[in-house]
A = this chain, B = another copy of it.
């Protein structure tokens, strides 16, 4: 909200500056009216594009971002989360073990803890729940 007010304030100031500038340059006869209008058009074209990008950015990013607070809330540890990420890549416990340089037993332990914390019965269900909770990026 504060940002919105700031942006619009800047916009209004810019508009007023352009008014004065246009008057001055037109009076002095240095620059033709066409160029002034062109500059204004281009300027506001990019301002419009920029603001639209800003407002839509959150909608675009939101479903693709990880809610780290929720991970903490669920009591999921760093290592457990790493395992979860590997599961989402479709890897087996053995493959995850090799990537994380631990034994398959360790991976199984992490997976079991994950299933409990995510209240899931299977790893596929864990993935679905994790995505619903925005814990995993797509």
Residues of B within 8 A of A124 (CB): 87-88, 90-91, 123-124, 127
Set of chain B residues within 8 Å of A51, measured between Cβ atoms = 49
- Expressed in whole angstroms, the Cα–Cα distance for A31 and B8 within the complex equals 25
For the complex, what is the distance from the CA of A27 to the CA of B124, rounded to whole Å?
Answer: 71
User: Quick check: A33 and B23 within 8 Å, CB to CB?
Assistant: yes
Query: Which residue from chain B places its CB closest to the CB of A125 in the assembled complex?
Result: B90
A122 neighbours in B (Cβ, 8 Å): 90, 92
Give 15 CB contacts A-B under 8 Å. A36-B37, A45-B45, A45-B48, A49-B51, A52-B53, A53-B56, A56-B56, A87-B124, A88-B124, A88-B128, A89-B128, A90-B125, A91-B125, A92-B121, A92-B122
